[in-house]
Structure 1
Amino acid sequence: MDLILLAQKIGTILLALLLLHYLWRLIANNNSPFTKGVQAPQPNGVWPIIGHLPLLGGPTPIFRALAALADKHGPIFRIQLGMHHAIIVSSKDAIKDCFTTNDIVFMTRPKSATMKYMGYDGAFFALGPSGPYWHKMRKITTNELLSNSRLESLEHVRDSEVDSCIGELHSRCKGSRTIVDMSKWFKRVTINLMLRMIAGKRYSLTGDGDDNKESKRFRRALKEFVYLAAVFEVSDVIPRLEWLDLQGRLRAMKRTAKEMDYFMNMWLEEHIQRRPNGQLKGEETDFMDVMLSLFPEEELLEGHKRERNHYQGHSPGSDTSRIAMTWALSLLLNHTEALQRAQEELDTHVGRERWVDESDIKHLPYLQCIVKETLRLYPPGPLSVPREAMKDCLVADYHVPRGTTLIVNLWKLHRDPNVWDDPNEFRPERFLTRRARFDVRGQQFEYLPYSAGRRMCPGVASSLQMVQLTLGRLLQGFSFATPMNSKVDMTEGLGLALHKANPLEVILTPRLQSKLYQQ
């Protein structure tokens, strides 16, 4: 009897689910905002509630999965991500439409758990919604924190930090053929550069020194922060599941936000204490010094977390630079002729009696081309940070309703055979000829490693300086080999950032005089 009742209940539930599915499809087909105009194509297989998420949840990186859908449905198509509509764009002309004609329409960001729990409801300049606060912080970022004059004043910071890390790397390469995980080394360089620019701090990332305990705590918090900022959170697309916290990530975000807040508060207190009468000593200023000059101390200390943690939003930028340098060295190790050409260029224009510095970069076109080609093949953010339409618009003659999420597949754009010759090949010299005028600042719509428009990455210049200087000194200072002289595995990791799946292990041999590494 119990089995009969159970079977009846299961049957009733299944019937109800089928009815709901039918009603949902009926409503979607008749009341969808996309029916107001010509619709972009949409893949089959949309599910109730979860939409097209099953198409994106396999072992294939999401940017490749979306690229495969573009091959089938065209360079602009729509999908349903949970309860939200989205358009995926990957052609030059459609992207230009989005970032010029419709740039103001797509100025805001969709709501996300990252923004809510780790970004203090919009304090992160990169993730915050459009509005008065965002415009205020954009002005501060572009005119104060990341202005050309500010970055020039921090040149000695970049120089000394790269010097220090190169020296430590040299000390590990003496004698035996020591294998070095360059992924970790790049992480060390970029994190310490970020810390010195933000707070004038430098932590030991090898576990040595008096700051060992604090260093470990910060490294752990930053690692979690960067991971959570780039991971898919199901409640972003199905908001009603937020209270369940199915993946446990919302709790992790709250915990990580508290940890990062602890360090920001501590550093801020240190900065206040070293300012006699509210003034700076000397010319050594960092981002926190700038913020203290713009906001009253009591505002930064008494609950104004948004202003206090604005510079915290620059943390993922260190990961962007690390990703770019890891892929660049990986590509060079698999293309030794390009590696040799880069080192010959450095020897010719800089020599072996001193280190390359930032003023030399303009005389090193091939090094610049290596960086550009790396960012073409492996943009650190292969999908642009999502934007949201604030009103109805047209993109490539397709109707896009208000509230639609825009995602640009930069990885697909950069490998478009209609734009690039041999798009999957590593050919730095392509940027020496007809594409010599291309740069990374979003002016050419077939090449957008840092996106484009008003919401493009604000730290482009800072990241480029960091990558070019670090890579230049590394190539100048060392010869490279892989264990067993094998090819570097170029497998891509999963997630929203284009990480290398496996560590980059390298054997290094110094190629300059020992005294240069000991400065």
Structure 2
Amino acid sequence: MDLLLLEKVLIGLFSAIVVAAVVSKLRGKKFKLPPGPIPIPIFGNWLQVGDDLNHRNLTEYAKRFGDIFLLRMGQRNLAVVSSPDLAKEVLHTQGVEFGSRTRNVVFDIFTGKGQDMVFTVYGEHWRKMRRIMTVPFFTNKVVQQYHQGWEAEAAAVVDDVKKMPESATTGIVLRRRLQLMMYNNMYRIMFDRRFESEEDPLFVKLKALNGERSRLAQSFEYNYGDFIPILRPFLRGYLKLCQQVKERRLQLFKDYFVDERKKLVSTKQGDNGLKCAIDHMLEAQQKGEINEDNVLYIVENINVAAIETTLWSIEWGIAELVNHPEIQSKLRHELDTVLGPGVQITEPDTTKLPYLQAVIKETLRLRMAIPLLVPHMNLHDAKLGGFDIPAESKILVNAWWLANNPEHWKKPEEFRPERFLEEEAKVEANGNDFRYLPFGVGRRSCPGIILALPILGITIGRLVQNFELLPPPGQSKIDTSEKGGQFSLHILKHSTIVLKPRSF
């Protein structure tokens, strides 16, 4: 059976070489393509570039080939944009032309080939999903309804940490408790539910399945099968595992959350209580605007896009404050001075604390959770930067390099919140400056900015108010090595941190 498979692969490769050579000649006459390394038939630049298309590797290619360059990754064209002007073209000026999403063998599985909002192609389905999701998730009204819950969850973190004697001596892996907090923040909004502890069996199961989903989706291991479809038979085991994880996750969402909410609502006839997000989704389903699969894939999006990315940013912010005690002290002084010692920060307070805002902005600049943004795609042939971009090319905006290029930023390698109070005082996280796009901008920007910023402010503010954050005994700093994924950036090691309680 293996020999038969190998024979088919070799025949396919030979046929593809002939086709690729012909197509290459035809395209060479038709297109003025962006610069890039010289591709070879079938494999394109894959053998030169490899699978690891992280933001730092792509930055090195930008330094060689310019602000726009093209990689031929097997049968896929991948255009990478690395300047503010070109980012504006992709995300704003030509937002419709480049507003779609590229296909990916693994994300196709986890999103039902774009039945969600984040990864669907640009068109009527995306507009409908965006509209349905906006009211229950992404408005100021949602912030006003739920910020007290976020404050209560942050207070619970503080209380739980104080009950752990080792937290003040040898230290704890704070991320574990913050993960529970983030799940509770979002599950309050989605289902009016929360988990009592890290040991809650349903939370343990949910966290494990979501973690496996992230590992499988963000890995670069499967790129060869995505780039060269004829090699996909070698991914059969990997894709089967993805399918199994997808099915188990969606079943868990349905059985323990969506159906449970349906039952609860049906037994509370005439109840005038606060609607949670899933109630809006189910109403849209009843009206025939979306189907049950769409509902489940919206839950899938929130579990990954809202919970994990915000958690990564909180973790990065804490790590930088541990490693920069002078910045931590300055932030603590602002909190004590503006609010008063021991007066716990609330969501409305976050706008009164410019240094806290600067710390958050600097964290999102230096340690951008989605450094390449979510990939874009042009459905039709397009022009960009004076070059032709063939239809269905994958477009990556290297937002991390836009925010860390020394030609545009003063000493970008330094963690220096003061830059957002001094030379970059007018720059905001909402995309008002195309050098700084932590949430993207335009039609396909991340709407979660409206939730992420206050949650970051409340969480980081409460921790700095109540604790002195330190590295473990014997260490001067904690490890901030990066781990990149398909388009993610999180800390490699979930560090142990010492949290010494403050007395007021």
TM-score by length of 1: 0.88
1:357 matched to which residue of 2?
346
How far residue 106 of structure 1 moved from its aligned partner, in angstroms, is: 0.9
Matching residue of 2:448: 459
Distance 1:250 1:26, change over 3 A: closer
Q: Secondary structure at the match of 1:391?
A: coil
Q: CA, structure 1 residues 114+295, in 2 after alignment: closer, same or farther (shift >3 Å)?
A: same
1:106–1:388 contact (8 Å) kept in structure 2 = yes
Q: Is the 8 A contact 1:272 1:278 kept in 2?
A: no
Q: CA deviation at 1:31?
A: 1.9
- Where does residue 76 of structure 2 map in the other structure? 84
Q: Are 2:263 and 1:273 equivalent residues in the alignment? A: yes
Partner of residue 152, structure 1: 144
In structure 2, the residue matched to 1:125 is: 117
The one of 40, 43, 51 equivalent to 2:44 is 51
Tell me how far 1:188 sits from its aligned partner.
Answer: 2.4
Counterpart residue type for residue 22 of structure 2 = I
Q: Which residue of 1 is the match for residue 104 of structure 2?
A: 112
Is the partner of 2:482 in helix, strand or coil?
coil
Residue by residue over 1:267-309, the C-alpha shift from the partner in whole angstroms, topping out at 9 and shown as x without a partner, is 1222122224775634333211222233329998xx7212343
Matches within 5 A, 1:103-502: 103-173=95-165, 177-204=169-196, 206-207=198-199, 211-212=200-201, 214-232=202-220, 233-234=222-223, 235-246=225-236, 248-266=237-255, 267-276=257-266, 279=269, 281-296=271-286, 304-316=292-304, 317-483=306-472, 484-496=474-486, 497-502=488-493
Q: Give the C-alpha shift of residue 428 in structure 1.
A: 0.6
Counterpart position of 1:31: 26
Give the Cα–Cα distance (whole angstroms) in 1 for the partners of residues 284 and 15 of structure 2: 55
Deviation per CA, 1:186-221: give whole Å up to 9, x if none. 3222222222221222235532xxx43x33221211
Q: Structure 1 stretches (4+) deviating beyond 6 angstroms? A: 15-22, 297-300
- 1:73 is the counterpart of 2:73: no
Instruction: Note closer, same or farther for the CA distance 1:16–1:238 as it changes in structure 2 (3 Å cut).
Output: closer
Question: Highest CA radius of gyration, 1 or 2?
Answer: 1
Give the CA deviation at 1:447: 0.4
State the distance in 1 between where 2:21 and 2:113 align: 36
| Distance change in 2, residues 1:405/1:176 (3 Å) | closer
Change (3 A) 1:249 1:57: same
Quick one: distance in 2 between partners of 1:175 and 1:455? 41
Does the Cα contact within 8 Å between 1:24 and 1:48 map onto a contact in 2? no
Q: Tell me, what secondary structure is at the counterpart of 1:85? A: strand
Q: For residues 195 and 26 of structure 1, do their structure 2 counterparts lie closer, same or farther at Cα, with a shift above 3 Å needed? A: same
Residue of structure 1 equivalent to 2:35: 41
How far does residue 509 in structure 1 lie from its aligned partner after superposition? 0.7
* 3-state SS, counterpart of residue 289 of structure 1: helix
The 8 Å contact of residues 168 and 498 in structure 2, kept in 1 or not, is answered as no
CA spacing shift, 1:432–1:379, aligned 2, 3 Å: same
- SS of the residue corresponding to residue 49 of structure 1 reads coil
Question: Using the alignment, how far apart are the partners of 1:61 and 1:19 within structure 2?
Answer: 27
1:348-375: per-residue Cα shift (whole Å, max 9, x none)? Answer: 0112232100111011101110111111
The answer to whether the 8 A contact 1:178-1:508 is kept is no
CA distance in 1, matches of 2:248, 2:56: 34
Deviations 1:120-175 (A, max 9, x none): 22222111112222110111122343222123211122122222222111211478
Task: Measure, in 2, the Cα distance between the counterparts of 1:40 and 1:299.
Answer: 41
Deviation at 1:28, TM superposition (A): 4.8
Instruction: Give the conservation status (yes or no) of the 8 Å contact 1:441–1:448.
Output: yes
Question: What is the DSSP-based 3-state SS (H/G/I as helix, E as strand, rest coil) of the residue aligned with 1:493?
Answer: strand
| Secondary structure of residue in 1 paired with 2:489 | coil
CA apart distance, 1:342: 0.4
Q: Determine the C-alpha separation between the residues in 1 that align with 2:209 and 2:493.
A: 22
Letter aligned with residue 392 of structure 1: D
Alpha-carbon contact 1:482-1:506 (below 8 Å) kept? yes
- The number of residues matched between the two structures is 492
| Residue identity matched to 1:469 | I
Matched residue SS, 1:86 = strand
Change in 2 beyond 3 A, CA 1:273/1:23: closer
Give 3-state SS (helix, strand or coil) of 1:445's partner.
coil
d(CA) in 1 for partners of 2:277, 2:29: 48
Any idea what the Cα deviations from partners look like across 1:359-398, whole Å, max 9, x if unmatched? 1101110111011111111110111211111222221111
In structure 2, stretches of 5+ residues that fail to align are 1-6
Task: State how far apart, in whole Å, the 1-side matches of 2:286 and 2:362 are.
Answer: 44
CA distance in 2, matches of 1:240, 1:18: 8
| Distance 1:146-1:35 versus aligned 2 partners, 3 A rule | farther
- Bigger CA drift: 144-153 or 232-241? 232-241
CA distance in 2, matches of 1:507, 1:61: 35
Aligned 8 A contact 1:388 1:406 in 2: yes
Going from structure 1 to structure 2, the CA distance change for 1:314 and 1:467 (only over 3 Å counts) comes to same
CA contact (8 A) 1:52 1:80 kept: yes
Residue of structure 2 in register with 1:63 after alignment: 55
1:158 alignment partner AA: W
Q: Do 2:361 and 2:429's aligned partners in 1 also have CA atoms closer than 8 Å?
A: yes
Stretch deviating more after TM superposition (34-43 or 91-100): 34-43
CA gap of 1:25–1:110, structure 2 versus 1, over 3 A, is: closer
Contact 1:327 1:500 in 2 (8 A): yes
Q: Following the alignment from structure 2 to structure 1, what is the Cα–Cα distance between the partners of residues 69 and 289?
A: 46
Aligned partner of 1:281: which letter?
A: D
Q: What letter matches 2:367 in structure 1?
A: Y
Q: Tell me what 1:7 maps to.
A: none
| One-letter identity of the residue aligned with 1:499 | H
| Structure 2 Cα separation of the partners of residues 400 and 61 of structure 1 | 19
User: Identity over aligned residues, as a percent?
Assistant: 27
